[in-house]
Amino acid sequence: MSLRSESGCAHVERSAGYAWYVVIVLLVAGITSYLDRNILFLLVDPIRATLGLSDTQISLLEGMAFAFFFITLGLPLGGLVDRRNRRNLIIAGVLIWTLMTFACGLARNYQELFLARMGVGFGEAILGPAAYSIIGDYFRPRNRARAASVYNMSNFLGGALAALVGGAIVHAIGALTVISLPVLGGTVGWRAVFFVAATPGIAVALLVLTIAEPPRRETADIAPSSAGFWRHLSAHRRAYAFVYSTYVAATFVGLSTAAWQPSYLIRTFGLTPGRAGMLIGGVGFAALLGAFASGWLSDHFVGRATAGRFRTPLVGWPILAISIPAHLLAPNLPMALLFSAIASIGAAIILVSCPPVLQDITPNAYRGRAQALFFICSITMGMGIAPTAVALVTDHVLGDPAKVRYALLIVQVPVLAIGWLLCRAGQRHYTQARATMLAVAPSASTSPSAA
């Protein structure tokens, strides 16, 4: 379906509706990716018991194994996004991570599980850069944040569903109960959770096949070369440094929480893995409020100042800075869940604003690589380092798995302060980079995209 109006308003409306259909399809793909990515977090203690692992070994499964291909192949894949058919790249990624999630359930030892997690990371590394690039070409800049915020709900919906679905299965059959499955025979309960998480992948790949690859907008006759990307990045290095570091700090806090929150609730309040998962999943839906608020704030701020979008994280940081310590020091389970919900809202306000913030200072020809570079940084810190940092404090500083809440507090509080300071300090540099972008590509504010 054409994105340009050729015969009147009705055609524009249909095009706008189709653009939102594309966002919903990408949202479904994103939910599936986060479901497969996060399901491991709920199964920490059952996997430890079956394979005889330490918290540090588990943290490497949660983080470094998944992060490996994001880090090593992120920029080459981002380059493919800038040059090739993004829809087809997403389909390939969905099929790969689906197969590897199923392989996680088949793993017989730590080494096989580690390799399977690496495969999940490889498949998912393409989705974010490709999805945000597609959305950027379907929507006008002034409406882009709201569209991106809907897609970015996949992060929070996927995490919530991973906890809910996984928790319900574990609660129903028991994480360590041996059940009989067709073909596979006797299978311990936590493995079945991986099989269920992998099941939607084929249907999702077929669904993505129904969307069209959009024409690229706001190109300003810029060739999508690696050398050009690095020149652009160098010319605005201060703006990108502050943007990346601000969002990486938020990712660090969010992913260290996701990795260890189930264990915190289980070890502190005596919950079963199944009940912990269902409670975390239910509370996690509060992030949807933050996601909607982020999109509205971002599009509101961008109409008031050149650097408007980058003001959005300044709303979320105080919420996160208050609610995270309150969550970890809560005297009872209801208080812990309440502050967890508030923290989810604050984190969503920050993180959902990232793709539009990046797109507003990045030419279309480089957006895949710019988003991929962010994922490299955020995955390195958020999954490669954050879970292991918490585990090391638990294992070697506090020396007691029951004190994981204090390990989270020790690791996260300094990062919360640093993230807010970086966002404040970067406002002026972001304003300069955005002004340059508007001067070079005026269509960045007037592009006749579908919505």
Determine phi and psi for 185, rounding to 5 degrees.
75, -145
Distances (CA, A) of 192 to 46, 57, 174, 203, 416: 12, 22, 10, 19, 37
Question: Is the separation of the CB atoms in 437 and 125 below 8 Å?
Answer: no
CA distance 340 to 451: 35
Q: pLDDT tens digit string along 94-121? A: 999 999 999 998 888 899 999 999 999 8
Mean pLDDT value across residues 49-53: 83
Domain ranges of the chain: 9-216+224-444
Mean pLDDT, the chain, integer: 83
Tell me which DSSP letter residue 310 carries: G
Tell me which DSSP letter residue 393 carries: I
CA distance 73 to 308: 32
Q: pLDDT tens digit string along 172-187? A: 766 556 666 666 656 7
CA distance 334 to 316: 23
CB environment 317-339: b (16+ within 10 A), e (fewer): bebbbebbbbbbebeeeeebbbb
pTM equals 0.73
User: What's the CATH class of domain 9-216+224-444?
Assistant: mainly alpha
* pLDDT band for position 53 (cuts 50, 70, 90): confident
Which residue would you say has higher pLDDT here, 397 or 58? 397
Task: Look at residue 304 in the predicted model and tell me its pLDDT.
Answer: 64
Q: pLDDT tens digit string along 358-405? A: 988 988 788 888 888 888 888 788 777 888 899 899 988 998 888 999
Which residues on adjacent β-strands are paired with residue 185? 181
* pLDDT band for position 218 (cuts 50, 70, 90): low
